Structure 1
Amino acid sequence: MEAILISKFVKDLRDLKVAKDVQLVKAKSSSDLHIRITHAAVTHVDQLYAQGLHQNNRRHIQPPFILGTEFAGIVTTAPHKSQFKPGDRVFGGSLGAYAESIVVDEKSVRKVPDRWTLAQACALGGSGNIGYGALISVAKLTAGETALILGASGGLGVMAVQIAKAVGAKVIAVVGDGEKAKMIRELGADEVVSYREANWEESVRDKTSDGEGVHVVYDLIGAVQSSLKCLRYRGRIVIVGFAARKGKMEEVAMNRILLKSAMVHGYRYGEDGRRDPSRTQEVWDGFMKLVEEGGIKPVPYKEGYNGLEEVGSALEDVKLHRTWGRAVLTIDGTAEAAQKARL
């Protein structure tokens, strides 16, 4: 099969090439599915993996490996006792998504809701699980509270905005430009603030009901100092990533955490799953309940990418923050239509 095989880390994402005749990984357990990939998400994590810049590259993700972490596709082979069957449309996450096929444990995927295309389901990907785990399982966000979403216009951010709204919270979203602000308002954000505005943290506090700040901050970008400025007394910060740090981590004056009696919690969805798979299952179930209730919708980026040969340029666009929502790469644009024709 064809795939983006990382035999060594690259410095320039545009140097990524399609490898031919790559061997499909063999099933490792009785619960593994073979899936024909139709679409793959283009994520910040993928561009870090390709360059060897992610913390997981030190242990879990070493060459050679197939790039890509989120996908949608059609089951081609399933175990006899599986909840899935050949022909089922599924989406989920696993390393190896930039390929024509993948083998994954059935716990890593869910069925695509009937109302969504495979491309839309791919735009959802694993972003909702991360947002639900951080906001609900860790921060315990509840109705009536105010959540601040940093990096709100990205793939993780657009899901976090919807999750917070679905549980009855007020949402203040932080974005970088007018197009992204318009999109995030249409998605349901109550207030939008630009991080390009001087002293934008004051604007966030001013937009809370009592001016005291927000209850919860969902930090995707690595801005704990700013998060603390926006936080009310005894508020909670959940750190999910450092997309804006370019590898240089900030140093935080710990007295600021004490003075706010703040909880600062790091959340690694993938590591949680490795150490305690039951927590991943709980997060999946909780998020999919919101999906079934109609509170969540996919937000694919307006521009599509076609073919594995466009992986490099798509990742470059994500790296340079040109995209919003979730950029989606079409790997097999005919499979879904062909399946419908057979039914």
Structure 2
Amino acid sequence: MAVCEPGLVHIAESIGRYGAPETLERLRAGNFHEVAAVATRAVQELDEKELASEWKQSGARLLIPSDLAWPSALNELPVPPIALSLLGKVEITELALSIAIVGSRTATSYGIRVAEDFAAALSDRGFSIVSGGAFGIDAAAHRGALAARGITCAVLACGVGRSYPVAHSRLFAQIAESGLLISEVRPSALAFRSRFLVRNRLIAALSQGTIVVEAAMRSGSLRTAFDAAELHRHVMGIPGPITSPMSAGVHRLIAESVANLITRVDDVVALVSPFTREHVEHPLLALLSRRQGITTEELAHLGAVEVSQAFTALAELMALGCVVRDSRGAFLLAPA
């Protein structure tokens, strides 16, 4: 990630065939296809001490495919990331039940309100919210999740040590405080145009479904929707006024059966979580009560499971309406 652009097919194929260390040596030797020439120059000029210092100063964590926490969903991509840079107080495993909300940067007031409302309501149902940190719909989705005290993740086109757009510096700080910033470039990396399109595939892969709130006919969020469809994820579109150019792209997705038309959060839950409360028989349910809340750590201890497993189970049960949170954030059985 420090020496090549995300999404380079030849680099990914080499890592898959020879492993990362040998690929690095091949780059140093200049033994590579011409499309990797920039990466070859970068690795030859790489200052490893400077890079280590940059990582330390940013506070970012490095995640590689061999790590236990690596999301297996990313391996479904035609060109998976070679590494991820993470900044935030939650683990990436807490994104096990996630919905992406994307759309236009120049959103209307209708789109902003819908994105905020859906993000907040989905957070209340136990879903993490994934988006791209951009103006418009992305920012509204992040803010809606934060307002509901949910977990939100921003997948950035720049490094996690930068704020792009700069106007979202405070928003990114809030996300890092209670959620996660993710990038597949080094912490100090700038946001180039090509990186926005490439990062969209990560938003799609990290989520069980992608909601497009508003998108013009040439919106980049349509690329995220098509990426999600290619990965066999649920794609959902929220209709808007037929007179609004900002809804034309969404209407196209729905008309071409790429996206399911949704108007309520229950529509999302029905698609992503096909089981109803009556069908749920989860062993951890027996450890919950309606009177006294329990934390994720306490549930993991009582159920003799990993904390990450308990969190995933609780998120799924919340999505089904079986579990709710009290004012302290502890978990309770939902009222019958």
Q: TM-score, normalised by structure 2?
A: 0.28
Which structure has greater helix proportion? Answer: 2
Q: TM-score, normalised by structure 1?
A: 0.27
Between 1 and 2, higher relative CO (CA 8 Å, sep ≥ 6) is seen in 1
Which structure has greater strand proportion? Answer: 1
